[in-house]
């Protein structure tokens, strides 16, 4: 699909510390905002709507093999939690293993 | 035999002094007249010059630089005030004040990303990009430096940090970098990252000192920590988004 080819990772994706949850709260806020935006645009471009927490750990979204950096499961759940707060994510099951990623608001769907 | 100590002598002395003074005043007045008439001529010459080259100055960066250099050599600052004669005639003032505002805007827009420090080159590119729609005016990094120099009048907001090979970082947040922080940036400039070990090797710093400086830089947002480097994972790598060049191609926020 042509849209997939065009998808460009933001600069942060090649910035190694982006994959480590930042201790400075201001910096962390920026980091999480960037991650949320990245997750949403990634899902939108690839026309995906379900995220599986276990599988996502190895997906290229959260793991940059060229840099040899990946997000830890804890960090991933922090990001998903952020997305839930902004209304872009809804858990499908009670154990929080799978979720809908809503890159449009519910009204738009 | 010294008879010139009487009242007469004193009077005489006074008289001579008075004459000298009168003559002096006359001369000064004369010079002043001459000078003001010269200024008048200069003014009309410049008006003529301005009439002809106004656009040239606004559009052509080389010409602008030469004009600035000439002013500097005769001790005139064409940017000192917007009511100045040069800026009224040539619009040089407006040009730089406008540029100053754009610089501040760009710095604010990128502040969140780099903690308020940006390479001059990047600042230049961004300003050029933001001006592209408005005008065909050429711009040089020299213009940026001049505008920043003017911005310093507003207080200690802007500072320039000089790196090797003529690279310059523009710091747009108040609060100077400490000498130690400055050294850290110097050491990190090539790779954009640094470890406690690097500092120990290159600057012969004690571990505690390095840790403290790096921690401070993390808490002020200049540095990001990376815990996934290397096999042992014992060392934290500190990264500076400001120095990281891939960051440059970005841009949603600007």
CA distances in angstroms from A26 to A14, B114, B173, B221, listed in the order given = 20, 12, 15, 7
Across A73-87, B2-16, B168-182, the highest mean pLDDT is recorded for A73-87
Contacts for A77 with CB less than 8 Å, ≥ 6 apart: A53, A96
Q: What is the pLDDT of residues B52-74, one digit of tens each?
A: 887 777 778 788 888 878 877 77
Instruction: Determine the residue of chain B that is closest to A12 in CA distance.
Output: B247
Cross-chain residue pair A17–B224, CB shorter than 8 Å: yes
Q: Which two tokens stand for residue B28?
A: 């000064």
Rg (CA), chain A: 14
Share of chain B above pLDDT 70, in %: 86
Q: From chain B, which residues contact A within 8 Å (Cβ)?
A: 112-113, 193, 218-219, 221, 224-229, 237, 239, 241, 244, 246-250, 252
Chain B residue numbers with beta carbons less than 8 Å from the beta carbon of A22 are 224-225
Nearest CB neighbour to B218, from listed A12, A19, A24: A24
The band of A28, judged by pLDDT with boundaries at 50, 70 and 90, is: very high
Residue-level pLDDT at A18: 92
Q: How far apart are CA A75 and CA A61, in angstroms?
A: 13
| pLDDT, tens only, A46-90 | 888 888 888 888 888 898 888 888 888 889 989 988 988 888 888
């Amino acid at each position: 699909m042509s849209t997939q080819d065009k998808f460009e990772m933001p600069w942060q994706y090649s910035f190694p510390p982006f994959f480590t949850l930042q201790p400075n709260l201001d910096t962390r806020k920026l980091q999480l905002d960037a991650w949320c935006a990245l997750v949403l645009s990634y899902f939108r471009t690839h026309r995906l709507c379900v995220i599986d927490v276990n599988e996502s750990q190895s997906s290229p979204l959260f793991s940059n093999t060229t840099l040899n950096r990946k997000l830890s499961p804890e960090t991933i759940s922090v990001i998903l939690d952020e997305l839930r707060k902004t209304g872009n994510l809804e858990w499908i099951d009670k154990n929080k293993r799978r979720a809908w990623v809503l890159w449009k608001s519910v009204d738009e769907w | 035999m010294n008879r010139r100590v009487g009242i007469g002598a004193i009077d005489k002395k006074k008289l001579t002094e008075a004459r000298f003074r009168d003559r002096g005043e006359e001369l000064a007045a004369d010079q002043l007249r001459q000078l003001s008439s010269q200024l008048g001529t200069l003014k009309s010459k410049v008006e003529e010059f301005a009439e002809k080259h106004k656009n040239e100055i606004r559009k052509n960066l080389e010409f602008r630089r030469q004009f600035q250099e000439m002013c500097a050599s005769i001790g005139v600052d064409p940017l000192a005030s917007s009511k100045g004669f040069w800026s009224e005639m040539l619009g040089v003032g407006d040009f730089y004040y406008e540029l100053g505002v754009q610089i501040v805007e760009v710095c604010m827009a990128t502040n969140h990303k780099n903690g308020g420090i940006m390479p001059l080159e990047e600042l230049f590119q961004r300003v050029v990009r933001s001006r592209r729609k408005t005008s065909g005016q050429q711009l040089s990094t020299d213009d940026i430096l001049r505008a920043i120099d003017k911005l310093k009048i507003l207080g200690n907001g802007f500072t320039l940090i000089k790196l090797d090979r003529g690279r310059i970082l523009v710091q747009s947040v108040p609060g100077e970098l400490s000498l130690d922080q400055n050294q850290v940036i110097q050491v990190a400039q090539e790779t954009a990252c640094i470890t406690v070990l690097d500092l120990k090797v290159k600057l012969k710093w004690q571990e505690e000192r390095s840790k403290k400086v790096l921690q401070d830089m993390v808490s002020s947002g200049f540095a990001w920590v990376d815990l996934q480097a290397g096999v042992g994972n014992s060392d934290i790598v500190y990264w500076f988004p400001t120095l990281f060049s891939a960051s440059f191609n970005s841009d949603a926020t600007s």
